[in-house]
Amino acid sequence: MRLSLAFACLFGYTIASPLVRTRQATSQTSPPDGAVVVDGSSSPQAGSFPTVQQGVDALSNSSTTAQVLFIFPGTYEEQVYIPALQSSLTIQGHTIDSSSYEKNEVTISYNLARTTVANNDVTATVRQWNNNTKFYNVNIKNTFSPHPSTNGQNLAISAQTGNQGYYGVQFWGYQDTVLANEGNQLYAKCLIVGAVDLIFGQDATAWFENVDIRVNGNGFITASGRDSADNPSWYVINNSDVAAIDSSIPAGDSSLGRPWKAFARVVVQNTFLGDVIKAAGWDAWSSASDGNTPNSTLAEFGNTGPGSEGTRASFSKKLDEAVSFESILGSEYKSEWYVDSAYL
């Protein structure tokens, strides 16, 4: 069941109603002992750093003890690179309600696209290269505009390693918003905004749970770059909500995805699909002679809403049962450090 409450966000948009969330609201307003603290305000906390990158640079590269980076409210106009560390890392944004993205008070924003740099990763507002990392209650935005027909990729997050968890995080972009590229990744109670290939990558096994996906232009929700039958990559969008960001986006303007590589694998299940999703559901990759469709798995199960109706593309599939957490993230996923079961 959907709420009638509208959630006002930056960029002047009013977000379509999110699904009902059940996790109990809790505040995260003070850093734990030993945390590295970022505070860009005019009256910063003693011992804090004024930018997120300076906070990251202050983390230990040699310690194996879990580390925490705590960020006080503000908009931080910068690009952040998180290198490989020897320890796990938690990044927590200040919030009075950590149960979802709606009360986030921390934004990291940058403006860059492929028009001037060498590859997609370098465009990302946050370049995340550390294993065993959890993000909570941070808005990550790439504000590049206008968007050219070529080299317009502008990533919010470049998630380049495994064992990553994102909880109550907002991701804003237009083309290639979330690069989920390697290893096991979990996105829960997040917001993902974009138009073209919002979720893309090559080798990740990524699960998206209770995620609100908002389309801000004509395009495709996913672009799986799985390139062989031996590649373990999956993208599963479960129990989520897909809609246009506002009434300016026409009905039937987007699809659930297109196969970037020849063995693309995406499942959308148990999800509300607004009328922004076209009746065919999926698109082929237009620059490939066969559309990259013969060996791809572009599938659905148990979806509802007007975007779930209509004659689906002949190369797509309807599953007989839902894909399980265990089949994607492993039978012991609940015991993994990066998995916060409170958000599931």
pLDDT at position 303 over 50 = yes
Residue that is written with structure tokens 């409170």 in the block: 342
In 8-84, alpha helices (H): 52-57
In tens, the pLDDT along 33-85 reads: 999 999 999 999 999 999 999 999 999 999 999 999 999 999 999 999 999 99
In tens, the pLDDT along 81-135 reads: 999 999 999 999 999 999 999 999 999 999 999 999 999 999 999 999 999 999 9
Burial label, 4 (beta-carbon count in 10 A; 0-12, 13-18, 19+):
exposed
For position 3, what pLDDT does the model report?
Answer: 35
Catalytic residue among 33, 57, 121, 197: 197
Instruction: Give dist(CA 216, CA 130) in Å, integer.
Output: 30
Q: Do the Cβ atoms of 199 and 208 come closer than 8 Å?
A: yes
Look at 7 and 148; give whichever has higher pLDDT.
148
* pLDDT level of residue 18 (50, 70, 90 thresholds): very low
Strands (DSSP E) contained in 72-132 are: 74-77, 80-82, 89-93, 106-110, 126-128
Give the 3-state secondary structure of residue 249: coil
Based on the residue annotation, tell me whether 121 is a catalytic residue of this protein. no
The DSSP element (H or E) to which 121 belongs, if any, is helix 120-123
Q: Do the Cβ atoms of 88 and 66 come closer than 8 Å?
A: yes
For position 149, what pLDDT does the model report?
Answer: 86
Q: How many CB atoms lie within 10 A of CB 27?
A: 12
Q: Do the Cβ atoms of 246 and 279 come closer than 8 Å?
A: no
DSSP string, 206-217: EEEES-EEEEEE
CATH of domain 36-343: 2.160.20.10
For the chain, the domains span 36-343
Instruction: Give dist(CA 194, CA 176) in Å, integer.
Output: 8
In tens, the pLDDT along 186-241 reads: 999 999 999 999 999 999 999 999 999 999 999 999 999 999 999 999 999 999 99
Instruction: Give dist(CA 329, CA 324) in Å, integer.
Output: 9
pTM of the model: 0.93
pLDDT at position 2 over 50 = no
Angle at 264 between CA 83 and CA 242, to 5 degrees: 80
The DSSP element (H or E) to which 71 belongs, if any, is strand 67-71
Catalytic residue among 39, 176, 212, 241: 176
Q: What is the mean pLDDT of residues 288-304?
A: 98
pLDDT at position 309 over 90 = yes
Q: What is the mean pLDDT of the chain?
A: 93
What is each CA distance from 341 to 189, 327, 336, in whole angstroms?
A: 12, 17, 10
* pLDDT level of residue 24 (50, 70, 90 thresholds): low
For position 191, what pLDDT does the model report?
Answer: 98
pLDDT at position 8 over 50 = no
For position 184, what pLDDT does the model report?
Answer: 98
Based on the residue annotation, tell me whether 197 is a catalytic residue of this protein. yes
